[in-house]
């Protein structure tokens, strides 16, 4: 089955700095890669996602890049703010044309990164 | 649209008991997945339901089961509770199979004593 590794487990930055979180996956059939942000005591919230036919996607201060050959994808947050402090999870999933296996519709998550942005 | 809702939000049970958790997906969403979140194991997939049928299952013992109703609402049941079942149980809904985005509910915090 799919295995997702996420690094670093903790990340501390100063407000205004950039933050980068990296994930690797094992199943070449995975074709959808979402990122979730979970604040303390709250539900995971989808913040950005990327599909395997795209190499990069941006949404304001956040961006995700995907390298299918190397099977890794990364989350980039620029101009970090204290409200960006949370746990961030990457995930991998197989959907659509690659479906049919046991990973279809199933999100396999990384272990999470605790991001702390200091004012 | 209202988001995914889960009830109850908190549960305290003792070992050996059973528990039923409920999830109401976003209106119009037909696929519901369940995840267990613990500090040690992170977020782990339990199962996925679509059209009242379990379509996919994670590596959990048979004590964990679920179902989906015709209105897409879903329940999960855990029988013969163990201390290790203490966790946050999250459900997520998506529009349809093959639609990627999964939106999470607030979770049910289960504590087994």
Residues of chain B short of pLDDT 50, as ranges, are: none
Which of A81-85, A94-98, B63-67 is predicted with the least confidence, judged by mean pLDDT?
A94-98
A39 to chain B: closest CA residue: B106
pLDDT of residue B56: 86
For residue A97, pLDDT over 60 is answered with no
Residue B15: helix, strand or coil by DSSP? coil
Chain B CA closest to residue A5: B42
Contacts (Cβ under 8 Å, ≥6 apart) of A58: none
Q: Is B90 within 8 Å of A93 when comparing Cβ atoms?
A: no
What is the percentage of chain A residues whose pLDDT exceeds 90? 78
Q: What is the pLDDT of residue A29?
A: 86
Q: For residue B56, what are the contacts with CB-CB under 8 A and spacing of at least 6?
A: A102, A103, A104, A105, A106, B33, B45, B47, B48
CA B69 to chain centre: 14
A34–B100 C-beta distance less than 8 A? yes
The token pair at A94 is 């197989």
- Residue B15 CA to residue B41 CA, distance in Å, equals 20
Q: What pLDDT is recorded for position A53?
A: 83
> Where residue A100 falls among pLDDT bands split at 50, 70, 90?
low
At residue A104, the pLDDT reads 61
* pLDDT single digits (tens) A20-75: 999 999 999 888 999 999 999 999 999 999 988 889 999 999 999 999 999 999 99
Per-residue pLDDT, A96: 61
Q: Is B31 on the interface with A (CB under 8 A)?
A: yes
* A98 pLDDT more than 60: no
Is B64 in the A-facing interface, judged by CB distances under 8 Å? no
Task: Reply yes or no on whether the pLDDT at A95 is more than 80.
Answer: no
What are the tens digits of pLDDT across the range B65-79? 999 999 999 999 999
Option in B48, B90, B105 nearest A105 (CB): B48
What integer best gives the mean pLDDT of chain A?
91
């Amino acid at each position: 089955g799919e295995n997702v590794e996420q690094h670093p487990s903790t990340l501390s930055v100063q407000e205004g700095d950039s933050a980068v979180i990296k994930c690797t996956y094992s199943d070449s059939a995975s074709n959808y890669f979402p990122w979730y942000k979970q604040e303390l005591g709250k539900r995971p919230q989808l913040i950005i996602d990327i599909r395997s036919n795209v190499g990069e996607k941006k949404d304001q201060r956040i961006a995700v890049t995907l390298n299918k050959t190397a099977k890794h994808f990364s989350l980039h947050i620029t101009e970090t703010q204290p409200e960006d402090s949370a746990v961030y999870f990457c995930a991998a999933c197989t959907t659509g044309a690659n479906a049919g296996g046991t990973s279809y519709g199933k999100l396999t998550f990384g272990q999470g990164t605790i991001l702390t942005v200091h004012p | 649209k209202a988001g995914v809702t889960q009830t109850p939000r908190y549960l305290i049970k003792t070992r050996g008991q059973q528990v039923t958790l409920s999830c109401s997906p976003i209106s119009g969403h037909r696929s519901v997945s369940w995840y267990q979140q613990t500090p040690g194991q992170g977020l782990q997939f339990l199962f996925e339901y679509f059209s009242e049928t379990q379509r996919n299952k994670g590596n959990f013992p048979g004590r964990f089961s679920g179902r989906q109703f015709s209105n897409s609402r879903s329940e999960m049941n855990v029988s013969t509770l163990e201390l290790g079942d203490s966790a946050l149980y999250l459900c997520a809904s998506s529009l349809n199979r093959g639609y990627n985005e999964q939106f999470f509910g607030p979770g049910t915090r289960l504590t087994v004593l």
